[in-house]
Structure 1
């Protein structure tokens, strides 16, 4: 894990059950527990498969981009407090007017990560949980269970919304969810608060690569598990070797020799929003991508096989029968 150094942080309470936010006037006093809590969330967020890369839009009438960049880049505590309060107030006002946006505690910070300095916005959306209740009734102890409506994510839970702005080039890493704004769902954090454009997340891109390939395989080869296994194997190899998924490599491996299918696949991927020939994945994606292939028969039988098992014909054989059906031979296994 890259070293994370938190320079300063401030926490604002955006509880929309009341009419005004509680905006802190002083920086947080850090305990070792608070420091570790925040570092854990930043490190996990940086590897989140749903994180999107982005950049600021040009100046709009309602948003002074250059002024905002200057404000978040000011490392003086007083200036940092002011810009954090303004951002928190904007989020609160939008949430108050649009109840679908969850109430939250919003923590903003300046921190160092991977040789860069970042302005961070971490939104700890409130969760419902239950805690014990204790009271003295006369001389008797009474206990019970009550609902708590304003608890935040613990260190083992992933954040649903955050944004990290790198201050040397103003590139942005953001994770967000769509909520209803004026009757239509949209990404309010990028569109309404920060005024940025974003790319697709690595998790979304991997799904596009897989689904597009499966669609073209079905169009050109029918339900051919060998082609699907080639897709899974090549995707896994790309990720394991370099953490980069190359569209040309996937295309050539799966649709080798079929020019029409290759072009159809590239068109499908581009249509779904992947405009570049390669993209990087996070470590979270590396742990989960294409590790197994599930085969389902028309009779409802499901076979789940590790991708690396499919790479060797000594392990498994797909046999085409004269009647158009397929037999699957799994070799040299121990039954337990």
Structure 2
């Protein structure tokens, strides 16, 4: 967070309960509280597991020009145009949440970014105090236009690096003109986006489970190998390699390897490797859950699954499996 520097910021009010947005004409005055609040949200957003990388389409040239001028007056005008476009989209498409839109220039990782942070309104409750004659009267009121606290994750944002116009975006798919769409990337910014790290990890796991079932049946050891390799990739380099997963899980079975690569590609992973965020690193499964037909659920640390001193899977003659858990201390 200390390496994020906020250079300028402006806040626009996009409350669709009224017919026009409240577009600020001046930059936000600096305050330590606001500066820290913004830095916290930007730092958390950059590590968000749902963040997607994007690149501008040819139709996005006007947006690039709009956000790239660093002069205060041009920045204010550009932010107002973006806010107006979002407000008009929200008025005609109720699925887009009302929000306060904060636009900023900030420095991070040796680059200057244009930030668009959408603080969607949440419902919350406050107390109200009145004097009725000589009596104190209190009650609870519902507020419908409160923004995210510093501890909440933003649902929608976009960061554009201004030296190469690379894009990071998190967005919600909502109904636009009768069809589900990502309005920030497709309607506003005009960018193509990749899958998020979270989506890619899910594809890697689910595709492996599908192919394992096709070639090996219900094999918890094979499923555990997927989780073990994912954990190793993340712990070693924060990069998940498709070939590494393929070779480790389907070693020697070339048909299964080819089937797995096809399944992963069909689901949208085109490269051989992808980077994950620190949020994904924390969430990569450290445990394997095993469910039996009788309703028993067993949760085991991934590290135990291939350690025969801890757990042993025994195939029975009737096709069932016995699970032997060893050397444990009950508590």
Pairing partner for 2:228 from 213, 229, 233? 233
Residue 290 (structure 1) shift:
1.8
Separation in structure 2 between the aligned mates of residue 133 and residue 275 of structure 1, nearest angstrom:
55
Partner of 2:142: 147
| Conserved? CA contact 1:2–1:113, under 8 Å | no
Summarize deviations over 1:100-149 as a string: whole Å, max 9, x none: 11000000000001111000000000000100011111121100100000
Partner of 2:40: 40
Structure-2 change in CA distance of 1:52 and 1:303 (3 Å): same
Partner of 1:62: none
Matched position secondary structure for 1:273: coil
| Conserved? CA contact 1:2–1:114, under 8 Å | no
Partner of 1:9: 9
* Greater Cα offset, 271-280 or 176-185: 176-185
Separation in structure 1 between the aligned mates of residue 265 and residue 63 of structure 2, nearest angstrom:
33
* Greater Cα offset, 303-312 or 31-40: 303-312
Structure 2 length-normalised TM: 0.99
Residues 203-218 of structure 1: pairs in structure 2 closer than 5 A: 203-218=198-213
Separation in structure 2 between the aligned mates of residue 321 and residue 184 of structure 1, nearest angstrom:
52
Q: Which runs of 4+ in 1 moved over 2 A?
A: 65-68
Pairing partner for 1:96 from 70, 91, 112? 91
Partner of 2:70: 75
Separation in structure 1 between the aligned mates of residue 72 and residue 303 of structure 2, nearest angstrom:
53
Matched position secondary structure for 2:304: helix
Residues 295-314 of structure 1: pairs in structure 2 closer than 5 A: 295-314=290-309
Separation in structure 2 between the aligned mates of residue 181 and residue 325 of structure 1, nearest angstrom:
51
Residue 255 (structure 1) shift:
0.3
| 1:335 and 2:330 aligned | yes
Separation in structure 1 between the aligned mates of residue 269 and residue 20 of structure 2, nearest angstrom:
42
| 1:30 and 2:30 aligned | yes
Separation in structure 1 between the aligned mates of residue 34 and residue 308 of structure 2, nearest angstrom:
53
Separation in structure 2 between the aligned mates of residue 226 and residue 311 of structure 1, nearest angstrom:
7
Summarize deviations over 1:271-310 as a string: whole Å, max 9, x none: 0000000000000000011211000001110000111122
Pairing partner for 2:195 from 195, 200, 209? 200
Matched position secondary structure for 1:327: strand
Aligned length: 331
Separation in structure 1 between the aligned mates of residue 183 and residue 5 of structure 2, nearest angstrom:
29
Pairing partner for 2:166 from 171, 193, 200? 171
Matched position secondary structure for 1:335: coil
Structure 1 length-normalised TM: 0.97
Separation in structure 2 between the aligned mates of residue 286 and residue 118 of structure 1, nearest angstrom:
25
Separation in structure 2 between the aligned mates of residue 27 and residue 158 of structure 1, nearest angstrom:
24
Partner of 1:285: 280
Partner of 2:260: 265
